Amino acid sequence: METIRQQLITDLSGAKTPQDVENARVKYLGRKGLITLAAKETDFSKLTAEEKKSFGSRLNELKNFAAEQLAAAAESAKQFGAAVGGTRKLDLTVPGLSRRLGALHPITTTLVELHQIFQGMGFMVLQGPDIETEYYNFESLNIPNDHPARDMQDTFWLTNGMVMKTHTSANQVRALERFGAPIRAIFPGRCFRYEAMDASHENTFYQCEGLVVDKNISVANLIAVMKTLLGEVFHREVKVRLRPGFFPFVEPGFELDLNCLICGGTGCPTCKESGWIELIPCGLIHPRVLEYGKIDPNEYSGFAFGLGLTRLAMMKYGVRDIRLFNSGDVRFYEQFVAVM
Ligand code: PHE
């Protein structure tokens, strides 16, 4: 019976037209079908009452299974016929006819992938609040009240004086206070900025902060981790460039740019026609930030980076417009098959 069951599955997986399905029905459930014969040709007089019962119930089960499978196959053969038959030509861009299983949001898939890559390098994954105090979002990052760097991040202020966190760096000192040194952690999270929206700017987007503090940490460690990260994410060699960048909480600070994977570097709206995408601002942690985190900068050093996670997903999946991620447009989400 098990052999028959397997054979039926194989036959039906190759059945395309209603005729194929009908042939299979005759082969298994017809008057001389395999399942029908299995019942007829068994000499029940030789079986004990116990055996009769078990054989009978297994046979019934197989019959029901076959009937169900045949009905399902007949239905999809009919749909397939409707799609490719008639006067319409076969359009290979039409989505498949299989049951809609849904898919993970591309940001979620990217997040899970980052978790795996960084956990493989010994990083913890932490999460901080979305609504932050001014202290953690700015002050503790060496951005005092009157510092012009606050203007770089158009902030949503709440009426109680708190802010919607403008960057995941807001969690840096929280992590240091909580876990001390040495530490290796990433903290992905949503960030909010009062931005004019266009193809590459959203008011709500994801970053993934990374933080490493230990003895003798240098820029070489930073570059090695960034290279491992990008190699794993894109499964190929990508071109990057490092240029100086200013952030009050790192010294020295860098911008790590990725050669635009949408246009291949020739220039497009996503990379603002420059051929490069600012992907990972990073640098060595400013001694003052370590001090805010109660860590002795004479003993420890570290690096931090603020990966643009939404941008990374854009590069990875070739999404040209950042606004699609939060659009709620099913036609966009449906294109992502969950491969994990
Ligand atoms: N938090 C910075 C931003 O959002 C990025 C950054 C993170 C820079 C870590 C350096 C180190 O612009």
DSSP states along 60-81: HHHHHHHHHHHHHHHHHHHHHH
Query: Measured from the CB, is residue 188 less than 6 Å from ligand 1?
Result: no
136 and 174 in contact (C-beta within 8 Å)?
Answer: yes
Please say which residue of 53, 87, 121 terminates a domain. Answer: 87
Count the domains in the chain: 2
- Å from CA of 212 to ligand 1 middle: 14
**Cis preceding linkage at 182, omega within 30:** yes
The answer to whether residue 95 sits within a structural domain is: no
Q: Atom 6 (ligand 1): residue with closest C-alpha? A: 306
Residues near 202 by beta carbon (within 8 Å), at least 6 away in sequence: 195, 310, 322, 323, 325, 326
What angle (nearest 5°) sits at the alpha carbon of residue 336, between those of residues 335 and 339?
Answer: 145
CA-153 nearest atom, ligand 1: 12
Q: Please check whether residues 111 and 76 belong to one and the same domain.
A: no
Residue (of 153, 163, 170, 321) closest to 249 by Cα position: 170
Write the CA distances from 267 to 44, 227, 230, 281, integer angstroms. 78, 23, 21, 21
Query: Which strands form 276-285's sheet, in the order they lie side by side?
Result: 124-125, 183-192, 204-214, 301-307, 276-285, 250-259, 240-244
The answer to whether residue 178 sits within a structural domain is: yes
Q: Please check whether residues 43 and 126 belong to one and the same domain.
A: no
Where in the sequence is the domain holding 10, given as residue range(s)? 2-87
CA-172 nearest atom, ligand 1: 9
Predicted pLDDT at 279: 86
- Å from CA of 249 to ligand 1 middle: 8
Q: Please check whether residues 187 and 292 belong to one and the same domain.
A: yes
Give me the residues of the chain with pLDDT under 70, please: 82-89, 96-102, 337-340
Predicted pLDDT at 97: 64
Query: Measured from the CB, is residue 286 less than 6 Å from ligand 1?
Result: no
CA-168 nearest atom, ligand 1: 1
Q: Atom 7 (ligand 1): residue with closest C-alpha? A: 306
The answer to whether residue 92 sits within a structural domain is: no
**Cis preceding linkage at 297, omega within 30:** no
Q: Please check whether residues 75 and 122 belong to one and the same domain.
A: no
Best mutation site among 151, 176, 249 for ligand 1 pocket (most ligand atoms within 8 Å of CB): 249
Three-state SS string over 209-258 comes to: EEEEEECCCCHHHHHHHHHHHHHHHHCCCCCEEEEECCCCCEEEEEEEEE
Residues near 105 by beta carbon (within 8 Å), at least 6 away in sequence: 325, 333, 336
The answer to whether residue 238 sits within a structural domain is: yes
User: 334 is written with which tokens?
Assistant: 């449906």
Q: Please check whether residues 83 and 152 belong to one and the same domain.
A: no
276 and 260 in contact (C-beta within 8 Å)?
Answer: yes
Q: Please check whether residues 163 and 245 belong to one and the same domain.
A: yes
Q: Please check whether residues 168 and 312 belong to one and the same domain.
A: yes
Q: What is the Cα–Cα distance from 62 to 9, expressed in whole angstroms?
A: 12
Residue (of 177, 170, 212, 160) closest to 191 by Cα position: 170
The answer to whether residue 94 sits within a structural domain is: no
Please say which residue of 34, 59, 87 terminates a domain. Answer: 87
Which residues are 184's β-sheet partners?
212
The answer to whether residue 101 sits within a structural domain is: no
Q: What is the Cα–Cα distance from 284 to 214, expressed in whole angstroms?
A: 12
Query: Measured from the CB, is residue 167 less than 6 Å from ligand 1?
Result: yes
Q: Please check whether residues 48 and 163 belong to one and the same domain.
A: no
Query: Measured from the CB, is residue 128 less than 6 Å from ligand 1?
Result: no
The answer to whether residue 305 sits within a structural domain is: yes
Q: Please check whether residues 119 and 18 belong to one and the same domain.
A: no
Which residues are 244's β-sheet partners?
254
Q: Atom 4 (ligand 1): residue with closest C-alpha? A: 167
The answer to whether residue 98 sits within a structural domain is: no
Predicted pLDDT at 85: 59
Residue (of 326, 310, 257) closest to 109 by Cα position: 310
Please say which residue of 87, 115, 150 terminates a domain. Answer: 87
Q: Please check whether residues 55 and 110 belong to one and the same domain.
A: no
Q: Please check whether residues 74 and 142 belong to one and the same domain.
A: no
Q: Please check whether residues 219 and 293 belong to one and the same domain.
A: yes
Predicted pLDDT at 340: 41
CA-306 nearest atom, ligand 1: 7
Residue 255 sits in a domain whose CATH number is 3.30.930.10
